[in-house]
């Protein structure tokens, strides 16, 4: 995303404070000058930039700052900058609770409006696909009778996304099409009905009147205005005009993946008070991201967006009982590995996944970026497709015992021998990590024993109090301290007893997931990077990817996270 350039400039401005022995008025003004220049270059309105500068200066009390340690001074300034950037793109400061959400079990009618060419029809399909993945019964209605080929485009998109649709080649009244389409899908118990209208401009009175007529007759639950992110701060004028014509409840920003004015557009639209609920970040069906101001700014500044990453992982709805059973036994087969890689492919471009991880450099994928990473993923899957059922169900030891199998795989997949060897090495890393978790002495087994003891009011059969205490100490040593702290708080909170397995999985979401449990499994500074470093003391994701050739290593690591049980 081009907004990464803005993030780098903002970080560069903040980094200038690191070279100062103390933060005084001169140092703060110099940093704010660089920050404001970066925002103006991103086409943010000059008045908004001026207000941001004033607010930061008001938040940073230089007199109080002078008595604090230098490190604390920098953190306070960084926090003030972050909070004001969040308010710039969301006046509520990222705490908006009035954003519309569809309700399952009842028909929710959404009407899309916007300028012609803003990506409205594509956004309709993306939103239908987004909610279909979340279990909603979705459908689309095309009422655009003005633009030639509009119904054909929607039909093509809907067919590709496997979304039911309604439209007409003979009916010329868009209001009647809307009424008929909504009535049909309501009768069939659809939960989300999306109406695509003609793209229009405020100067086109006829099309604008058509839009208001559809809204009056259909009475949609939410009207979404689709705004082209490439028009920069001009977005504010368009948003206000549409909001005055119809009751715009939400906004979707499109084309945010390739233009430097995206930041200006978001800040301008935010100034209207209309909540931005989604942003379009590409041409593919899955390239629609829920907009969260804090996550957006955090990701832009290279601090990651763990909430967005967890949502993507939850969308996979992984409930493979065989895999869960294998993990409890401490076994990680080649078939498990293949499934995790396949799931990883469905998460979308790797650059977007990487941007959600704290501390991940934007150029980590190296030459070729997403395209090369996807190509390597497919090569890895091709190698595993060449395996026999016995090889897929093995723990990989068979390839060490019979090296000729590796040569056969290379020939069958048309891959160099070294790539097959790297694939097996990756599997071995994650197999080692799973082995630590499961099996007779793994923490998952120990945790179950402790839970059973709590429920039975005593100790596991054949275990003394001293052995129980020793086991608890061993478990604490294997787990991330943050997770141990959460467990103790849970047990001391009045509910009593060990957390259940489901509760443990819930805790993991706030403790870095699988990486949080494994604690020191990897060398990365953040939990996810630590996870991807593997269990063999690797140097984190960056080191692993460097050793294994670009995107190859990191992809497998994330796949291991994606398949962890409890991610529902």
Q: How far is CA 406 from CA 391, 398, 413, in A?
A: 11, 10, 11
Phi, psi of 70, rounded to the nearest 5 degrees: -60, -40
Give the containing element (helix H, strand E) for 250: strand 250-254
pLDDT at 450: 55
pLDDT at 466: 61
Using an 8 Å Cβ cutoff, are 348 and 284 in contact?
yes
Q: How far is CA 252 from CA 127, 269, 494, in A?
A: 10, 10, 44
pLDDT at 293: 85
pLDDT at 377: 82
pLDDT at 318: 53
Structure tokens at 215: 């809204």
pLDDT at 284: 84
* Cβ neighbours around 473 below 10 Å, total: 9
pLDDT at 226: 92
- Splitting the chain (568 residues) into consecutive groups of 10 residues, what average pLDDT does each group show? 72 85 88 92 87 91 80 87 88 66 93 90 95 94 90 94 94 94 96 92 73 92 90 81 84 77 73 83 85 83 67 60 70 86 72 61 54 80 92 91 93 91 89 72 56 52 58 52 52 44 42 37 34 34 40 35 33
Delineate the domains of the chain, giving CATH numbers in brackets: 3-89 (1.20.120.140), 108-303 (3.40.50.300), 304-568 (1.10.260.30)
Q: 39: Cβ–Cβ under 8 A, 6 or more apart, which residues?
A: 6, 49, 52, 88, 263
Strand partners, 250: 224
pLDDT at 560: 34
Helices (H), 332-464: 334-345, 350-355, 369-385, 389-392, 397-401, 404-413, 417-437, 443-456
DSSP annotation string for 301-370: TTS--HHHHHHHHHHT----HHHHHHHHHT---HHHHHHHHHHHHTT--HHHHHHTSTT--TTTT-TTHH
pLDDT at 214: 93
Supply the Cα-derived Rg of the chain in whole angstroms: 27
DSSP, collapsed to helix, strand or coil, labels residue 228 as strand
pTM reported for the whole predicted model:
0.65
Q: Are strands 192-196 and 138-142 parallel, antiparallel or unpaired?
A: parallel
Phi, psi of 504, rounded to the nearest 5 degrees: -60, -45
First to last CA, the chain: 29
Structure tokens at 467: 């052995």
Give the containing element (helix H, strand E) for 215: helix 205-218
pLDDT at 141: 96
pLDDT at 485: 54
Burial class (CB in 10 A: 0-12, 13-18, 19+), 98: exposed
Strand partners, 109: 193
What distance in Å separates the CA atoms of residue 409 and residue 17, rounded to the nearest whole number? 54
């Amino acid at each position: 995303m081009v907004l990464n350039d803005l993030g780098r400039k903002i970080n560069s401005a903040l980094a200038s404070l690191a070279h100062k022995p103390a933060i005084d008025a001169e140092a703060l003004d110099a940093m704010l000058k660089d920050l404001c220049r970066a925002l103006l270059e991103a086409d943010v309105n000059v008045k908004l930039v001026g207000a941001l500068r004033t607010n930061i200066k008001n938040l940073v009390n230089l007199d109080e700052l002078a008595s604090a340690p230098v490190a604390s001074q920098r953190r306070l300034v960084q926090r003030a900058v972050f909070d004001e950037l969040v308010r710039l793109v969301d006046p509520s400061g990222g705490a908006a609770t009035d954003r519309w959400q569809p309700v399952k079990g009842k028909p929710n009618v959404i009407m899309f409006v916007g300028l012609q060419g803003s990506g409205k029809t594509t956004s309709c399909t993306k939103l239908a696909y987004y909610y279909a993945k979340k279990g909603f019964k979705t459908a689309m209605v095309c009422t655009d009778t003005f633009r030639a080929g509009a119904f054909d485009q929607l039909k093509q998109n809907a067919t590709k996304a496997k979304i039911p649709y309604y439209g007409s080649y003979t009916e010329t009244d868009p209001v009647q099409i809307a009424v008929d389409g909504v009535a049909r899908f309501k009768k069939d118990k659809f939960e989300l009905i999306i109406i695509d209208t003609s793209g229009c401009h405020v100067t086109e009175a006829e099309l604008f009147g058509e839009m208001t007529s559809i809204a009056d007759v259909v009475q949609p639950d939410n009207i979404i205005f689709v705004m082209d992110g490439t028009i920069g701060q001009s977005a504010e004028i368009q948003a206000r005009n549409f909001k005055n014509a119809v009751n715009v409840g939400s906004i979707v920003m499109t084309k945010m993946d390739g233009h430097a004015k995206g930041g200006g557009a978001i800040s301008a639209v935010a100034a209207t008070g209309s909540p931005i609920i989604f942003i379009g970040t590409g041409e593919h069906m899955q390239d629609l991201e829920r907009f969260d101001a804090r996550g957006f700014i955090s990701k832009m500044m290279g601090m990651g967006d763990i909430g967005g990453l967890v949502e993507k992982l939850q969308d996979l709805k992984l409930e493979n009982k065989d895999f869960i059973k294998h993990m409890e036994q401490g076994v990680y087969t080649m078939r498990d590995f293949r499934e995790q890689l396949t799931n990883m492919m469905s998460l979308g471009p790797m650059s977007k996944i990487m941007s959600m991880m704290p501390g991940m450099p934007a150029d980590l994928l190296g030459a070729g970026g997403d395209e090369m990473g996807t190509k390597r993923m497919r090569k890895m899957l091709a190698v595993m497709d060449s395996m026999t059922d016995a090889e897929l169900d093995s723990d990989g030891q068979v390839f060490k015992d019979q090296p000729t199998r590796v040569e056969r795989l290379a020939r069958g997949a048309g891959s160099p021998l070294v790539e097959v060897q790297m694939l097996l090495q990756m599997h071995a890393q994650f197999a080692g990590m799973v082995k630590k978790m499961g099996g007779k002495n793994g923490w998952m087994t120990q945790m179950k024993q402790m839970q059973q003891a709590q429920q039975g009011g005593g100790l596991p059969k054949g275990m003394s109090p001293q052995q129980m205490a020793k086991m608890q100490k061993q478990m604490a040593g294997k787990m991330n301290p943050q997770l141990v702290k959460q467990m103790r708080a849970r047990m001391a909170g009045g509910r009593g007893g060990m957390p259940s397995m489901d509760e443990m999985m819930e805790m993991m979401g706030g403790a870095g997931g699988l990486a949080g449990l494994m604690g020191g499994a990897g060398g990365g500074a953040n939990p996810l990077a630590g996870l991807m470093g593997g269990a063999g003391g690797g140097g984190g994701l960056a080191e692993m990817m460097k050793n294994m050739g670009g995107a190859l290593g990191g992809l497998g690591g994330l796949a291991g996270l994606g398949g962890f049980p409890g991610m529902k």
